[in-house]
């Protein structure tokens, strides 16, 4: 049939075939580009999932002692698990902000539990403070004592022996001072602090404060607005 075409028609046919070939080639390149984009997106998602899995390291598989101070309903929509050091400056900032924000939510919205992770290599009195707070917990005054330790951090962290200061805090909250003094002197709650510490090590925690919110790890301090935004993101 092509032999019956005029020269002009043959030139036009070749031009059209060339144009069609170029369009086909562009379409193939576009298709390949889209395939690579999709593969790239899938790869990024997989990396995020893997990294998150490594960072959280199955926190739910670590059994809780049941002795950790807590507020709220354990079945709340947002579960915050803190690992902290009473002598850590960043922990002070974050803890005082979080304590205020948690009060803005109902028990069924937020459950908050505190775990000790005293880094004694950096903070010489941190373990003693944790033991004292757990002694206060035995008399149901943990959160009051927790706040006082952080608020007055500068008043005890550099002391050679903070015992008298810790007992003064107990007296201020009308605790049984004799019972409290025996508790800290005999380190009756040291095992609780060590349980939390060992648990933190199992979770590869190496800095404070570290939080797990619904199993997702967050490291570092947050102010009040930062806590509200984060909690609200889980409540949406």
CB-facing half-sphere around the CA of 101: CA atoms within 13 A:
22
Q: How confident is the model at residue 66 (pLDDT cuts 50, 70, 90)?
A: low
Q: Quick count: other Cβ atoms within 10 Å of Cβ 43?
A: 10
Is residue 193's pLDDT more than 90? yes
Alpha-carbon torsion 235, 217, 114, 62, what sign?
positive
Q: pTM for the complete prediction?
A: 0.74
DSSP tally for the chain: helices H, then strands E? 9, 5
Across the chain, what does the average pLDDT equal?
88
Report in angstroms the alpha-carbon separations of 110 from 43, 57, 59, 84. 34, 22, 18, 18
Q: Quick count: other Cβ atoms within 10 Å of Cβ 138?
A: 16
Is residue 57's pLDDT more than 70? no
Is residue 49's pLDDT more than 70? no
Report the pLDDT value the prediction gives residue 7, as an integer from 0 to 100: 73
77-136 pLDDT, tens digit each = 999 999 999 999 999 999 999 999 999 999 999 999 999 999 999 999 999 999 999 999
Residue 63 DSSP symbol: P
Report the pLDDT value the prediction gives residue 170, as an integer from 0 to 100: 98
């Amino acid at each position: 049939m092509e032999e019956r075409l005029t020269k002009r028609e043959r030139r036009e046919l070749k031009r059209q075939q060339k144009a069609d070939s170029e369009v086909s080639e562009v379409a193939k390149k576009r298709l390949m580009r889209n395939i690579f984009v999709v593969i790239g997106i899938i790869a990024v998602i997989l990396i995020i999932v893997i990294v998150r899995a490594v960072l959280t390291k199955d926190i739910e598989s670590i059994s809780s002692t049941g002795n950790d101070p807590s507020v709220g309903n354990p079945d709340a929509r947002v579960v915050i698990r803190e690992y902290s050091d009473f002598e850590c400056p960043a922990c002070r900032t974050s803890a005082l902000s979080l304590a205020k924000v948690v009060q803005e939510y109902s028990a069924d919205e937020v459950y908050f539990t505190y775990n000790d992770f005293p880094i004694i290599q950096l903070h010489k009195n941190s373990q003693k403070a944790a033991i004292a707070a757990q002694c206060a917990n035995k008399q149901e005054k943990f959160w009051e004592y927790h706040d006082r330790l952080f608020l007055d951090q500068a008043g005890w962290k550099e002391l050679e022996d903070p015992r008298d200061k810790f007992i003064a805090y107990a007296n201020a909250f009308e605790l049984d001072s004799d019972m409290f003094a025996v508790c800290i002197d005999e380190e009756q709650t040291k095992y609780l602090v060590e349980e939390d510490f060992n648990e933190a090590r199992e979770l590869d925690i190496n800095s404070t404060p570290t939080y797990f919110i619904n199993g997702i790890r967050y490291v570092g301090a947050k102010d009040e607005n930062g806590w509200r935004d984060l909690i609200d993101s889980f409540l949406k």
